[in-house]
Amino acid sequence: MLDNSIYNLLIKELRQAIKDGDIEKVKVKALRAHELIHDKQLTYSSIDTFQNEALAGLNEKSFRYTTSKKYQGYRTLAFFIFHMTRIEDICANTLIANDTQVIFQDNWVEKMNINRIDTGNSMSQTEMIEFSSSINQEALFDYRLAVAKKTRGIIQKLTSSDLKVKPTQDQLDFILTSKSVLNHEVSIWLIDFWGKKNIGGLLLMPITRHQKVHLSDCYSIIKSTK
């Protein structure tokens, strides 16, 4: 994997830029941190990102059936990719841009062959097995790239005054009514967690840091299958 110190430094610099209200530096650091946790094709780079390195050696077994020993013991790589992408989609579009989530466009639910659009936190083991065995891998990664592209545009349009803006109650309510987050004890806390953050805070968590954590989970799953 790429040196974690590189990412940690980026996050430290992003946090400081947010604190300083330096919007141009925020954009530079946020975009760089964001591109490193997505496929290199996002920026047409020839250099591997954390995602490229974490998912090297991905196969059917590691994608669908190998479970993580953390997080209740039955989290799959397919779940982690979906989960972190859904959270980016929700937070970037509903909470930051006040715009339509990517998943509600272009028939992504049908393309991915899924029957739910929530973050997946509350999935039982049976639900996890069914979800992971049926989801279309290629469509999932296409969805992830589409979300990343839209997030990148959102970051580029931010202004200094945006950084301190917090989600509105209407935005938080929509997340629940749209079933992007389920009213379940292991999911509902996300509404409160995100509601307390401003846009600057959302750029740090979950837009960037959250995904780095789960890419490490994916890397561990693939490594365990070799």
pLDDT the model gives residue 22: 98
When the pLDDT of each residue in the chain is averaged and rounded to a whole number, the result is 96
**Count of the separate structural domains present in the chain:** 1
pLDDT the model gives residue 25: 98
- pTM here is 0.97
Percent of the chain residues topping a pLDDT of 70: 99
Residues of the domain holding 178: 4-225
CATH number, domain with residue 205 = 1.20.120.450
Q: Is pLDDT at 1 greater than 60 in this prediction?
A: no
State the pLDDT confidence band at 182, using cuts at 50, 70 and 90.
very high
pLDDT the model gives residue 2: 64
DSSP collapsed to 3 states, the chain = CCCHHHHHHHHHHHHHHHHHCCHHHHHHHHHHHHHHCCCHHHCCCCCCCHHHHHCCCCCHHHHHHCEECCHHHCEEHHHHHHHHHHHHHHHHHHHHCCCCCHHHCCCHHHHHCCCCCCCCCCCCHHHHHHHHHHCCHHHHHHHHHHHHHHHHHHHHCCCHHHHHCCCCHHHHHHHHHCCCCCCCCCCCHHHHHHHCCCHHHHHHHHHHHHHHHHHHHHHHHHHHHC
pLDDT the model gives residue 16: 98
Give 122-169 pLDDT, tens digit per residue. Answer: 999 999 999 999 999 999 999 999 999 999 999 999 999 999 999 999
